[in-house]
Amino acid sequence: MPQTLRVLTEEQKMQFDTEGYLIVKGLFSPSNIEEIVETFDKMSYETIPGYFEPNLEADGSDPLQRYPRVMHPHRFNDTSMKYMLHQPVMEILADLYGEEAYAAQSMFYYKPPGSRGQALHQDNFYLQVEPGNCIAAWTAIDEAYEDNGGLLVVPKTHEHEISCPDKADTNESFTTHYVKPPKDGVVKPVIMDKGDVLFFNGNLIHGSYRNKTKDQFRRAFICHYANSSAAKINMHYNPLFKSDGTEVILEGNPDGGPCGVETTEFFYH
């Protein structure tokens, strides 16, 4: 029997199932956002080998040298772990999956003014969740819109298979992978307020433009999850976590994916 929806309306669930994504407004409170901001403001002056390695003396020619992504902060920071397992997020994920969700990854993006965006891509190319799929929960820490490099989605592409990426234009993208949208695909900007969360399917084609503003960061706290019935995941995402913090280890997925080689590169937004 499918799980009864506990949090989302039928219309919201239908939106996710038909379009591949869903925005839930105000899922993080102002005090939640303030705590996240304080945590990562302090962290921005630190170096954490393997997770956050800024060039504190950067000349500003590439803003991401000074403010690179923070990878897997839940592995060393209690605030990140707490909000990766944020109860309202976990409840919505349970609705979307129809079963319990396991947390696999956390990231924080500062995306300062002038930062390059990220070319279009698909998340489950990297996570390799099987059977099932990953779902992203992308939380806006600042307002996110087209000019400051908010997210872009190609609706309905969650129905497409995972593609082997082409090479991206690294003048505009700080990652090297690019997935070309279908001929009938429409690249749509996602407009979000602080505290909103965008949930999207692991096959959905998405990315972001450059931050064109002079003085606005576009910070985001992004986590990825797997369905509890999944048996395999890319080994780099173990251990996963249940909502109560219990560790879960899934089998490392040996499938080379659509490119025929094992994926080891972490992905970015």
Q: What is the DSSP string of the chain?
A: -PPPPSSS-HHHHHHHHHHSEEEETT-S-HHHHHHHHHHHHHHTT--BTTTB---TT--SSSHHHHSPPEE-GGGT-HHHHHHHT-HHHHHHHHHHHTS-EEEEEEEEE---TT--BEEEE-THHHH--BSS-EEEEEEESS-B-TTTT-EEE-TTGGGSPP---EE--TTTBSSSEE-PPPTT---EE--B-TT-EEEEETT--EEE-----SS----EEEEEEEETT--EE-GGGPSEE-TTS-EE-PEEP---TTTTS--------
* Average pLDDT along the chain: 94
269 pLDDT more than 50: no
The predicted pLDDT at position 84 comes to: 98
**For the chain, percent of residues with pLDDT exceeding 70:** 95
The predicted pLDDT at position 151 comes to: 97
Mean pLDDT of 98-112: 98
Task: Classify residue 114: in a domain, yes or no.
Answer: yes
Mean pLDDT of 233-244: 97
Task: Classify residue 123: in a domain, yes or no.
Answer: yes
Task: Classify residue 53: in a domain, yes or no.
Answer: yes
243 pLDDT more than 60: yes
Task: Read off the pTM.
Answer: 0.94
Tell me, what CATH number does 247's domain have?
2.60.120.620
Mean pLDDT of 219-234: 98
Listed range (53-57, 116-120, 147-151, 262-266) with the worst mean pLDDT: 262-266
Task: Classify residue 149: in a domain, yes or no.
Answer: yes
| Cβ(73)–Cβ(226) below 8 Å | no
Q: Dump pLDDT digits (tens) for 182-202.
A: 999 999 999 999 999 999 999
The predicted pLDDT at position 261 comes to: 60
What pLDDT band is residue 141 in, cutting at 50, 70 and 90? very high
5 pLDDT more than 80: no
- Number of structural domains the chain divides into: 1
Q: Which domain holds residue 156?
A: 10-252
Reference 71, options 50, 88, 96, 40; nearest CA is 50
Task: Classify residue 259: in a domain, yes or no.
Answer: no
User: Could you give the C-alpha distances from 111 to 60, 148, 153, 235, in angstroms and in order?
Assistant: 13, 9, 18, 28
Task: Classify residue 1: in a domain, yes or no.
Answer: no
268 pLDDT more than 90: no
Dihedrals φ, ψ of 159, to 5°? -85, -5
Mean pLDDT of 222-242: 98
Q: Dump pLDDT digits (tens) for 34-49.
A: 999 999 999 999 999 9
| Cβ(116)–Cβ(179) below 8 Å | no
Mean pLDDT of 207-231: 97
The predicted pLDDT at position 6 comes to: 77
What pLDDT band is residue 256 in, cutting at 50, 70 and 90? confident
The predicted pLDDT at position 14 comes to: 97
Task: Classify residue 261: in a domain, yes or no.
Answer: no
Task: Classify residue 3: in a domain, yes or no.
Answer: no
